[in-house]
Amino acid sequence: MSLEGKNAVQVVKELRRTAEGKERIFILMDPVARKPVVWYPKAKEPELISKGALNELIATNPTFKKDCVFYFGPPDTRGTDFVIPPGYGVIVFGPTTIMPGAMQACWRLRGLGQQHGLKFLLPDSIAQRICSETDMKPSNLSWLHLFNDIKKQTLESQKGLNLKGTKEKIREILPVGIRQILSKHLAARDKMVFWDILHPIRRGEDVLIQINLHEATRDFLCKSKKADPTQDYSPTSIISFEEDIQKDIEGQKRQLEELKNKVKMIKKSMVFRATGWARQRFQDIENDITAMMTNLEQLEKDFYEKVESHKKYLPANVPNNGGAVATSQVQVQEAQQQQQQQQQQQQQQQQQQQQQQQQQQQQQEQHHRILDGKFNRYEYKKWTRGQRYFGNLQTLWDRNNEWVVRELYLHVKNLGDNFVGKNNIEEDFSNFGFDANVSISNHMSEVLSELPTLVGAPLGRILIIEGKQVCLIGKEDYHWSMKRFIGVPHAILSPLDGYIYSEGLAFNTVNGDVPDIQDPVMMLKIVQIKWRLGYYSYSSAEEKVLTDWLKTLTKVQIDAHWKWLNQRSNIEQIKLFQKIVV
């Protein structure tokens, strides 16, 4: 199996085709979303999982801990940390792997040497290279030969950086010297005579010299380059590194001569009015330029005296324009950042496409408000599935209350379509085992879809109609419910933490008979809504009802709940569910 050019998902697909791999649980990083995913043996596609849920499964599920396999692709060896159970890692190094990358890959196993061991797979291309250099047989190669080869590749990769360092020493002589000329401390400025108000000429000369020097040296400090058709547009050719270094030295010499001539022009323009102080200032500047030239010549001399040693850590041949020479680790990081930005852009594009598709689907069933003089009436542009959900509501009221059925039919969606929000879980509502008389309003559905990880009482209230129908409503539905169900027995309640408040609910409004919230059938509906909101703390009576309900779930329904819980990472709710069903 070849790994070349494949991302993490493609590699895991190949591994799942093997006899051993098809029974394993793979954990990897999604190459596009850059989020952890888990791929179960019989699943067609991987699914997102939070690190908290993953750690919980490893800590509490022995089967998961035994069968899981973590895969790290090349982009995942930096900045990706998983809590990996005891075992061993298999590492495959590429032909261009260098020591920092090798160490990063090895140390993905944080318990290396204690909880984790290492094994290495040697690609044929690397084995052939090592054998050709060492005259050894492939069967005699060990991890030691592999790491010696990585060391060699590391040294080879550093040659470009070494060349840049050597060239920077040459190129920095001029700008460093210029900054010293412009900014160095002058002892003459510390004397009182320099600031004598009766002799301002000296200060004027100092200001004039500084202005002219800044103007003359601006191009050198900015490293601007004049266009030269004979050099800028010449074809690329390969030259020796000695010739490349000599080109830089000659270029610096030309710039020093140019700077020297500019200083002479400034001096010439002031010769008729220059005082002794100004002449001394120019003499100091010329001495500094001479010192820069001396340093450059000494550097050139040292280079050629040690040229044989330079050949060991510098590339033998380089392009004449320097475009293909490695530069610095900063540029390597910039390239990695560009890759991450491209991945983020791709991810954003996919998210935008998904949002557009979701908006198109929502527009088919989206309600609009029609002003009716006294209040807003809610209607749907298109509705095809409401009768299936609310056909049984006709039995709740007599014919005089048919308008109540119609209003609820227009305003409320069945909880089945909204139990999982917009998080790509496509199970039917029946897979979760909820009561048929439990529903959710459109506004609350949108809230839960946009905020799938938030849990608790502030998210909604519970509407009970005729003591039978139980609906989770949002803030926008509160006054709508009070207006629409005038004359119909109903109650609106706020869910509470059952462990702190034994009732588990607080009544907000009651119209007609007070519903019996202690009735096991009614309590089950309320508990199911609180479970959907993410509650994990219940009163003793609620916990008994919850336990009895969860224990009656089928395997398909339990799997659906596990899938939903893992995506939301509500650890306490996961613990409670595991305690009851496992």
Tokens of 114: 């204690």
521 inside domain: yes
510 shares a domain with 531 = yes
Rounded CA-CA distance 138/242 in Å is 39
167 inside domain: no
392 shares a domain with 350 = no
Which residues form the domain of 465?
375-581
Whose CA is closest to 94, among 85, 102, 83? 102
443 shares a domain with 316 = no
532 shares a domain with 386 = yes
2 inside domain: no
275 shares a domain with 194 = yes
With the C-alpha atoms ordered 329, 330, 332, 336, is the resulting torsion angle positive or negative? positive
pLDDT in tens, the chain (582 residues): 566 667 888 888 888 888 888 888 898 888 887 888 898 988 888 888 888 888 888 888 888 888 888 888 877 777 777 888 888 888 888 777 888 888 888 878 887 778 888 888 888 888 888 888 788 888 888 888 888 888 877 776 666 656 777 778 888 888 888 888 888 888 777 778 778 777 787 788 888 888 888 888 888 887 655 555 555 555 556 777 778 888 888 888 988 999 999 988 888 887 656 577 788 888 889 999 999 999 888 888 888 887 776 666 666 666 665 544 444 444 444 544 555 565 566 666 777 777 777 766 655 443 333 333 333 333 323 223 333 333 333 333 333 333 333 344 444 443 333 333 333 223 344 577 888 888 877 777 777 766 656 555 456 888 888 888 888 887 777 777 777 777 788 888 888 887 777 778 888 888 888 888 888 899 999 888 888 888 888 888 889 999 999 999 888 888 888 888 887 777 888 888 888 887
Phi-psi label, residue 525: left if phi above 0, alpha if psi -120 to 50, beta otherwise: alpha
The alpha carbon of 189 is separated from its chain's Cα centroid by a whole number of angstroms, namely: 55
Alpha helices in 198-328 (DSSP H): 201-222, 229-232, 241-269, 276-305, 307-313
Who contacts 538 (Cβ-Cβ below 8 Å, separation ≥6)? 498, 499, 504, 527, 530, 546
**What pTM did the predictor assign?**
0.36
Instruction: Write a three-state SS string for 274-308.
Output: CCHHHHHHHHHHHHHHHHHHHHHHHHHHHHHHCHH
380 shares a domain with 354 = no
162: exposed, middle or buried (C-beta count within 10 Å: 0-12, 13-18, 19+)? middle
pLDDT of residue 548: 92
pLDDT of residue 225: 56
* Residues 112 and 84 sit within 8 Å (Cβ to Cβ): no
pLDDT of residue 220: 81
505 shares a domain with 394 = yes
337 shares a domain with 386 = no
Please give the full DSSP string across 519-556, using - where no structure is assigned: SHHHHHHHHHHHHHHT-----HHHHHHHHHHHHT--HH
431 shares a domain with 349 = no
120 inside domain: yes
pLDDT of residue 453: 61
41 inside domain: yes
526 shares a domain with 436 = yes
Whose CA is closest to 462, among 517, 386, 418, 499? 517
3 inside domain: no
Q: What DSSP state is assigned to residue 416?
A: H
Q: How many domains does the chain have?
A: 4
Strand partners, 48: 37
* Residues 28 and 73 sit within 8 Å (Cβ to Cβ): yes
- pLDDT tens string 358-417: 766 655 443 333 333 333 333 323 223 333 333 333 333 333 333 333 344 444 443 333
343 shares a domain with 389 = no
* Residues 404 and 481 sit within 8 Å (Cβ to Cβ): no
Type of residue numbered 138: P
Tokens of 486: 């005038």
- pLDDT tens string 191-238: 787 787 777 877 888 888 888 888 888 888 876 555 555 555 555 567
Please state, as a whole number, how many other Cβ atoms lie within 10 Å of the Cβ of residue 473.
22
Rounded CA-CA distance 343/32 in Å is 6
389 shares a domain with 252 = no
522 inside domain: yes
pLDDT of residue 571: 82
308: exposed, middle or buried (C-beta count within 10 Å: 0-12, 13-18, 19+)? exposed
